[in-house]
């Protein structure tokens, strides 16, 4: 079968002929892959910043944002049936019996760091024509989401973040008075840093939860990302016309910041504008650059005197995948054009080179695999 792979030892990205996987255990499921999304992680792997092939392999098949269709199931499979659409999870548990996270199926919180990830770390990924994996990693998707389900995996970042936001904020009287027809955070204001796919999907999740949502990003208006945000009722502010002070002034009390840029300087400047009882969520992984100065006294004073919480979040558990599938269905009904316009192009596998190593363009580009 055809697959897109990196060879870190020779720094090559290629379309390769790869053995088609077969069912080996009674709980295995075989997928015919429909499509895979291209994201910053794939592009960084293709720039050889990280990405580790499985033991004994020279190459790593990449791809972790995907949609497949079940074409064969082992004798003991109960979660899915032939013909189901599924989005597989990415991370697999570490082998250690003392890792309470992995033992409990929460490898997204693995303690040891010895987890593996399909398409990223020591396991082949999903930019291939066929995939086999255990049914416990499969998340069934309704047929009506076929055209947008490749967005399920990137949306899990916001879903996992929001699950934790509600958990953490339960410690204080943060919830809004119940109002008919309004979602739970209707009295709260959120700022999203960055308007890439993670930021835009995060903004949709925040608006859908009731937050008055502002997105702060580099590009001047008008631009396609600001158009998407307008369709969902979020406000786009460009860094070219608004300082962070102007942003904070316009928002008022910043109850939540959802960071989706991996620009650490911007993020730490923004922490200084986090409001009383506010919560700041980091999702980006910056490369290492020269250190920058921050006002630690101001930050520490605010954290203490304003009861603030700052946390980071990576990967996603089953609850986040299920929340993502549910919410993508809601988004697709509420804002059909906005959701569709997140996918800016669909390309055949032969276009891998331009998509993975050429200049970044569009919002979410997708590679069709069959």
Q: Is 41 in the site for Zn ion (CB under 5 A)?
A: yes
260: phi then psi, degrees, rounded to nearest 5 = -140, 40
- Kind plus residue range of the DSSP H or E element containing 42: helix 40-46
- The minimum distance between CB 299 and Zn ion, in angstroms, equals 30
Q: Which is nearer to Zn ion, 123 or 188 (CB)?
A: 123
* Residue 38: CB minimum distance to Zn ion, A: 8
Total number of residues binding Zn ion (CB under 5 A)? 8
Comparison of 205 and 254: residue with beta carbon closer to Zn ion: 205
Tell me which residue has tokens 């996270």: 101
Between 133 and 212, CB nearer to Zn ion: 133
Q: What share of the chain is helix, strand, coil (3-state, %, to 5)?
A: 35, 25, 40
Residue listed under structure tokens 């669909």: 346
Q: How far is the CB of 120 from Zn ion (least distance, A)?
A: 9
Q: Give 95 or 220: the residue with its C-beta nearer to Zn ion.
A: 95
* Residue 90 DSSP one-character state: -
Report in angstroms how near the CB of residue 93 gets to Zn ion at its nearest.
Answer: 6
Residues 91-130 that bind Zn ion (CB under 5 A): 94, 99, 102, 110, 112
Q: Which two tokens stand for residue 290?
A: 């020269």
Compute CA 97 distance to the chain's CA centroid, rounded to the nearest angstrom.
28
Would you give the binding string for Zn ion spanning residues 339-368, x where CB under 5 A is met?
Answer: ------------------------------
**Position 46 contacts Zn ion (CB under 5 A):** no
Pick from 30, 39, 331: nearest CA to 207? 331
CA end-to-end distance (rounded Å), the chain: 10
Dihedral sign for Cα 40, 44, 47, 52, please: negative
Per-residue contact string for residues 62-81; x = within reach of Zn ion by CB under 5 A: ---x----------------
Pick the closer one to Zn ion by CB: 53 or 63: 63
Least distance from Zn ion to the Cβ atom of residue 152, Å:
11
Q: Prior bond to 222 cis, omega within 30?
A: yes
CB 45 within 8 A of CB 84: no
Structure tokens at 1: 């079968």
C-beta closer to Zn ion: residue 39 or 266: 39
Supply the minimum distance, in Å, between the C-beta of residue 283 and Zn ion: 11
* Residues 21-40 as x/- pattern, contact with Zn ion by CB under 5 A: ------------------x-
Handedness of CA 27, 107, 284, 291 (dihedral sign): negative
Smallest separation (angstroms) from Zn ion to the CB of 196? 10
Binding site for Zn ion (CB under 5 A): 39, 41, 65, 94, 99, 102, 110, 112
């Amino acid at each position: 079968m055809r697959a897109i792979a990196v060879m870190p030892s020779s720094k090559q990205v290629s379309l390769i002929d790869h053995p088609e996987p077969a069912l080996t255990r009674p709980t295995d499921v075989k997928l015919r892959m429909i499509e895979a999304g291209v994201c910053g992680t794939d592009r960084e792997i293709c720039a050889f910043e990280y990405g580790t092939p499985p033991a004994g392999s020279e190459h790593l098949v990449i791809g972790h944002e995907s949609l497949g269709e079940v074409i064969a199931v082992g004798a003991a499979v109960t979660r899915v049936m032939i013909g189901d659409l599924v989005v597989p999870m990415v991370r697999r548990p570490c082998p250690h019996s003392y890792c309470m996270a992995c033992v409990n199926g929460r490898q997204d919180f693995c303690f040891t760091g010895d987890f593996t990830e399909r398409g990223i770390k020591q396991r082949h990924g999903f930019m291939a024509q066929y995939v086999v994996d255990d049914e416990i990693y499969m998340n069934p998707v309704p047929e009506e989401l076929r055209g947008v389900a490749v967005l399920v995996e990137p949306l899990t970042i916001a879903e996992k973040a929001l699950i934790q936001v509600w958990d953490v904020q339960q410690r204080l009287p943060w919830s809004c008075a119940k109002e008919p027809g309004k979602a739970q955070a209707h009295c709260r204001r959120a700022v999203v840093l960055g308007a890439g796919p993670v930021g835009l999907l995060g903004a949709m999740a925040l608006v859908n939860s009731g937050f008055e949502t502002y997105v702060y990003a580099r590009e001047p208006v008008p631009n396609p990302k600001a158009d998407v945000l307008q369709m969902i009722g979020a406000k786009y502010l460009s860094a070219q016309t608004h300082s962070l002070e102007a942003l904070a002034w316009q928002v008022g009390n910043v109850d939540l910041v959802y960071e989706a840029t991996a620009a650490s300087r911007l993020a730490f400047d923004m922490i200084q504008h986090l409001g009383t009882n506010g919560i700041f969520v980091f999702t980006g992984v910056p490369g290492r650059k020269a250190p920058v100065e921050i006002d630690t006294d101001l930050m520490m004073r605010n954290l203490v005197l304003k009861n603030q919480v700052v946390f980071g979040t990576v990967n996603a558990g089953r609850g986040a995948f299920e929340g993502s599938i549910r919410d993508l269905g809601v988004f697709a009904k509420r804002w059909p054009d906005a959701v569709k316009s997140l996918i800016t192009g669909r390309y055949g596998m032969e276009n891998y080179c331009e998509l993975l190593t050429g200049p970044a363009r569009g919002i979410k580009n997708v590679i069709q695999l069959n």
